[in-house]
Amino acid sequence: MLRIVVCIALATAFFACGRQDEWLPPQDRQVPHLPAIPYDYTNVVLPEHFLEPALGFFEYVPASNTTTDEGATLGRVLFYDKLLSASGTVSCASCHRQPSGFADPKPGSKGHAGGITPRNASHLVNLRYNFQLFWDLRANGLENQVLVPVQDVLEMGLTLDQLIERVSNAAYYPALFESAFGDPAVSADRIARALSQFIRSIISFQTRYDQGVANGFSDFTASETLGMQLFYNGITRCNQCHMTHNFYSPDAFNNGLDTVYADAGLGALTGEPADMGKFKVPSLRNVALSAPYMHDGRFATLEEVIAHYNGGVQPHPFLDERLTAEMETGGTPYALGLTADEQTALVDFLKTLTDEGLVSDVRFSDPFTGQ
């Protein structure tokens, strides 16, 4: 009763009684350090093979939110700003780390109040080629996805009103919103658009594999060449799910991790038996940086992943046909029987997909450091 009375009294001063944002930024909070002329996020010349029809078909850049250098710059600041979490301790980048290819090196990520996420944080590379996001594909389009973690009670724990209030009150944002959108008004829609522009500009296309596509793989080692042949040889069927030069699929599949899934992925969402254990096929670009692997981060190394495909695939009733001996959904898991050298070769090939430049690219780095 007393609480209600106090609340009503306070409500005269604060219109959102009980939902007041109690966390205030420390006085000595860092400010972002930005270049006088924004970095170039827009004049990116993609190699020829990135213009393949399959990638173009799945590319999703809404006409209402094409990327500008100023928009992506604002997105970069928001991405690294701990103001975006209730306790002020977590930013998007706390779980999506640049040195790890924008993934988290831990199987579960620590949220704003210390809780651990049940799933492994996805990497954020080449998401411009994805419309459906999250491991269970539950979000459509980045603009709709990026405000989900902000409002997630475990991850960042803010309401949209609190988010807008905090961003509006930080001294460095008005000028950034003005540059990006023409006036300093802060809205959830603008925050979502800027974050999406930033994430869409994280494109990875400068790897030894990409050089190889251009020069006929002339500098691949014998093991890398063998690994590439195995990846594409129709026996491992790796490339039938990890497709295109982005090594991914816009669909979700069951790759036989368990006979009964604790987390049913797409199936938990749709309730359809045939969707049980289906998860997004992440791009394998930078996969050597983004350990641990799978939706729950169960495999610590690429060697463990290959061992899974080689002989550890489980007989799930809806195991994807490509991982079965009979090529029938739910069939007998296909034991690849690769030699130790062949398994190493597959790992060596996957390592050619690492884009060293991306992890040190200043355009995607933390603007709050170095102050």
Residues that bind ligand HEC (CB under 6 A): 84, 90, 92, 94-96, 109, 111, 117, 119, 121-122, 124, 127, 130, 133-135, 145-146, 149-150, 155-156, 195, 199, 236-238, 240-242, 253, 255, 257, 279-282, 284, 287, 290, 293-295, 305, 309, 320, 322-323, 346
C-beta closer to ligand HEC: residue 17 or 23: 23
Q: ∠ CA(255), CA(260), CA(264), 5° rounding?
A: 70
Sign of CA dihedral 205, 209, 212, 218: positive
Would you say 65 and 193 are in contact if contact means Cβ atoms under 8 Å apart? yes
181 close to 174: Cβ distance less than 8 angstroms: no
Q: Smallest distance, Å, CB 288 to ligand HEC?
A: 9
- CA 197/CA 146 separation, integer angstroms: 11
* Residue nearer to ligand HEC on the CB measure, 36 or 262: 262
Question: CA-to-CA distance for 84 and 81, rounded, in angstroms?
Answer: 6
Place of tokens 């290819």: 101
How far apart are CB 196 and ligand HEC at their closest, in Å? 8
Q: Give least dist CB 125 to ligand HEC, A.
A: 9
Name the minimum Å distance from CB 206 to ligand HEC. 19
Query: What region, left, alpha or beta, does residue 61 occupy, with left being phi > 0 and alpha being psi -120 to 50 degrees?
Result: beta
Least Å from the CB of residue 115 to ligand HEC:
8
Pick between residue 70 and residue 264 the one whose CB is nearest to ligand HEC. 264
Per-residue tokens: 240? 């039938």
Residue type, 152: D
Residues, the chain: 371
Using the minimum distance from each CB to ligand HEC, give the nearer residue, 215 or 332. Answer: 332
- Alpha-carbon gap, residue 218 to 128, rounded angstroms: 30
82 vs 205, which CB is nearer to ligand HEC? 82
Instruction: Give dist(CA 58, CA 141) in Å, integer.
Output: 11
CB of 19 to ligand HEC, least distance (A): 20
Residue 38 vs 107, nearer CB to ligand HEC: 107
Write down the least CB distance from residue 280 to ligand HEC, Å: 6
Q: State the nearest-atom distance from the C-beta of 336 to ligand HEC, in Å.
A: 7
Nearer to ligand HEC, 210 or 287 (CB): 287
Q: Considering the complex, state which of residue 70 and residue 191 has its C-beta at the smaller distance from ligand HEC.
A: 191
Structure tokens given for 253: 């599949």
| Burial annotation 28-55 (CB, 10 A radius, 16+ → b, else e) | ebbebebeeebbebeeeeeeeebeeeeb
d(CA 236, CA 252): 18
